[in-house]
A and B are shown apart, each in its own frame.
Chain A
Amino acid sequence: MQLVLEKRAERSTKIAILSPLLAIALTLVTMSVLFAILGKNPATALYVYFIEPLTDSFTLMEIAVKATPLVMIAIGLSLCYLANVWNIGAEGQFIMGAVCGSYLAVVTNGTDAGPWVLPAMLLMGAAGGALWAMIPALCKVRYGANEILTSLMLVYVADLIMDYLVRGPWRDPKGMNFPTTASFDPVATVPALFETGRIHWGALAALIVVALATVMLGRTIKGFEIRVVGAAPRAARFAGFNSKRLVLFTFAVSGALAGLAGIIEVAGPVGVLQPGISPGYGFTAIIVAFLGRLNPVGILIAGLFLALTFIGGEGAQISMKIPLDLTKVFQGILLFYVLACDSLILYRIRLIASPKKASHGIA
């Protein structure tokens, strides 16, 4: 008796819809086991993780705050992954966006600069992220260097550049030697949406990005080109699509979105530039992109779900003393199950008597 994989004649649409749900269900089961190993009551822990944050308007808004960068980054990454381009350095592009945008906030700090500051910061943030993403893209297009490794290495470099700036030239002179810039002026801050809570206009920007991506992928030549190059590179060559230009394009767009997310994060909920502005948004966004099936609307839902795990994880740490690292474990396991379940869209698992007998049957 043996389990084998067999290619389906066509994609199973039923499983395509069911697979993310199945993956989440399997993850929850695995998590329950982990909770039990840690000596916590699984039912209580799951409640604290996934239900409690939904019962309070403050935590609901916090979920939206956390989902904002995740969705924006993941939309950009999904364009890359659809085109079979592997940008995994979004974390670095997020940081460089935050750094470039913050430059304006730092130099105009305490001056009576007008309301042009924030729009200019957003532009510089997006440009900073895009330029940082251009490094691995150009290395790949010009020299054929593997973009996975170069984009990832640049995450560490970006982190160190920010560290240097906030400990050195940009440090707040009144900040008691803490590695942080001065608090941004009101003209350099993304305004909040409501009187209370930290939810800000960036959340709307993320929704606009989702809408634009939906239109681009579904209704434009560029979107078609991205999908053809990714799914059938040979066909794309016959169609005259330039795959090198597409590498530059997808890297630039995803870098710009990650950079924009970065500057919105520091000019919005955080309010200063300091180390640790990202709890790994750039990496979690990879999971968001896959869980959302590389589809903009799917990414929006997946982004909210993973934001829920961040908030739930913080709640579980406070009320149940569950280590914060469990959130990362959860995210890793979820990605595994998503990938495994997605495989069932293209293949089915068959139990066969033995490989020899089967070939005999055909003959």
Chain B
Amino acid sequence: MGLLEAIIISVIAASTPLLLAAAGELVVERSGVLNLGTEGMMIMGAACGFAGAWLTGSTFIGALFGIAAGCALSLVFAALTLGLAVNQVAAGLALTILGVGLSGLIGAGFVGEKITPAPHLYLPVLTGIPFVGKILFGQDGFVYFSVALVVAIWWFLYRTRAGLILRAVGDSHTSAHALGYPVLKIRLLAVLFGGGCAGLGGAFLPLAYTPFFIPGMTAGRGWIALALVVFSSWLPGRLAAGAYLFGAVTILQLHAQAFGLGIPSQLMTALPYLATVIVLVLISRARGSAGSVAPASLGIVFVPDR
């Protein structure tokens, strides 16, 4: 396998958790809810996903554990923000603090344990195609699922009636409510979906990326995923492009560290975070006078009048 091929494969692996979590958050934000708890849900997904895989020996069941953990946390968020009309920013922060703590508690018993990483599915014949074969047809199940997920989300948002309603709820909850759509119920489903995606994105880390669990292993990926949603202008296609771009930054800094180059390793490690800040500034500046493209009701509390 050539170096370039290896780099591309590792870029895809580094991008997948970002893509999964960000795709879920995109749907959540399109419904008008800002869930800043992605980092908490991801790290819980990582801890529970690893626990599930370690106990059962199955990556698939581990992934389901991760999804369930993300959904459970997002349900708490929904109860507060949708049920009790709590400020979404504050509730999202609480979710992250809680998730980081709980994952440490759950994962403590599993630190130092190892599992077999998710198998790469080598499709016969197709993998034999030179260069692109292994890149396109030799990934693990998470990678295929993440790509299918983004396509499905695009199709759902722009080609189905339910997707249209979800976008309407996010753009004007009062109008949607007046038309008789159950705003809170739709948002609840969106939040649960986002939680499941974040949990799966987190579970990818110990199940496929590194075959062990360390506390705090998401290392801010949840926050980068949130930034990616802003970067994407809430469009699924751009989201995928952004996720792979960030995966590339992550991998390139690792390779640059390996080469030495005399640059402090800390500067290299800081690159993805600095890139996030720079990208946010550039994208906000580019929009400037064109006005915001965010869902109009994003982050605004909605209490239906009867």
Contacts and interface: CB of A to CB of B under 8 A. Distances in A.
A347 B288 CA distance: 37
B220 A153 contact: yes
A139 B93 contact: no
Interface in B246-281: 264, 266-267, 269-270, 273-274, 276-277, 280-281
Given A145-B281, A148-B36, A339-B80, A156 B220 contact: yes
Interface string A335-351: 11001101110110000
B76 interface: yes
Given A5-B84, A148-B36, A160-B269, A336 B101 contact: no
Interface in A123-157: 135-136, 139, 142-146, 148-150, 152-154, 156-157
Interface stretch (B3-11, B119-127, B223-231): B223-231
Contacts of A135: 277
Contact of A336 (B80, B270, B273, B284): B80
A333 B98 contact: yes
> Among A3, A328, A358, which residue has the most Cβ atoms of chain B within 10 A?
A328
B98 A329 contact: yes
Contacts of A330: 101
A344 B227 CA distance: 32
Given A145-B280, A149-B276, A150-B280, A359 B85 contact: no
B162 interface: no
Interface string A82-117: 000010100000000000000000000000000000
Contacts of B284: 139, 143-146
Contact of B94 (A86, A152, A335, A346): A335
Given A145-B280, A336-B91, A156 B101 contact: no
Contacts of B287: 144
Interface in B98-128: 98-102, 104-105, 108
B280 A287 contact: no
B304 to A, nearest CB: 8
B108 A146 contact: no
B93 A329 contact: no
Q: Is the interface of B mostly helix, strand, loop or mixed?
A: helix
A143 B279 CA distance: 11
B97 interface: yes
A343 B86 contact: yes
B92 to A, nearest CB: 9
B137 to A, nearest CB: 35
A170 interface: no
B83 interface: yes
B76 A336 contact: yes
B270 to A, nearest CB: 5
A287 B97 contact: yes
Contacts of B267: 160, 164
A79 to B, nearest CB: 16
Nearest to B285: A143
B35 to A, nearest CB: 12
B175 interface: no
Nearest to B269: A160
B103 to A, nearest CB: 8
Interface stretch (A68-76, A193-201, A207-215, A319-327): A319-327
A150 B277 CA distance: 5
A153 B80 CA distance: 26
Given A143-B285, A329-B105, A347-B303, A339 B90 contact: yes
B274 A157 contact: yes
A326 B85 contact: no
Nearest to B84: A343
B226 A164 contact: no
A341 B16 CA distance: 38
Contact of B102 (A148, A152, A329): A329
A154 B104 contact: no
A355 interface: yes
Give the interface size bracket for A toward B: 35 or more
Contacts of A331: 97, 101
Contacts of A332: 94-95, 97-102
A14 B194 CA distance: 37
Contacts of B56: none
Contact of B264 (A145, A168, A325): A168
A333 B283 CA distance: 35
A328 B276 contact: no
A5 B82 CA distance: 10
A49 to B, nearest CB: 14
Contact of B273 (A142, A156, A163): A156
> Among B80, B87, B277, which residue has the most Cβ atoms of chain A within 10 A?
B277
Interface string B133-163: 0000000000000000000000000000000
A84 B19 CA distance: 30
A286 B270 CA distance: 24
B83 A339 contact: no
A328 B95 CA distance: 11
Contact of B266 (A7, A145, A163, A324): A163
Contacts of A355: 306
B235 interface: no
Nearest to A343: B84
A326 B105 contact: yes
Contact of B93 (A7, A157, A335): A335
A4 B97 CA distance: 28
Interface in B168-194: none
Contacts of A328: 97-98, 100-101, 104
Interface of B: 36, 76, 80, 83-87, 89-91, 93-95, 97-102, 104-105, 108, 215, 219-220, 223-224, 226-227, 230, 264, 266-267, 269-270, 273-274, 276-277, 280-281, 283-285, 287-288, 303-304, 306
Given A327-B101, A329-B98, A335-B94, 14 more contacts: A139-B284, A143-B281, A145-B283, A145-B285, A146-B280, A153-B220, A153-B223, A160-B270, A168-B264, A287-B94, A328-B97, A332-B94, A333-B98, A347-B84
8 contacts: A144-B288, A286-B93, A331-B97, A332-B102, A339-B91, A339-B94, A346-B85, A355-B306
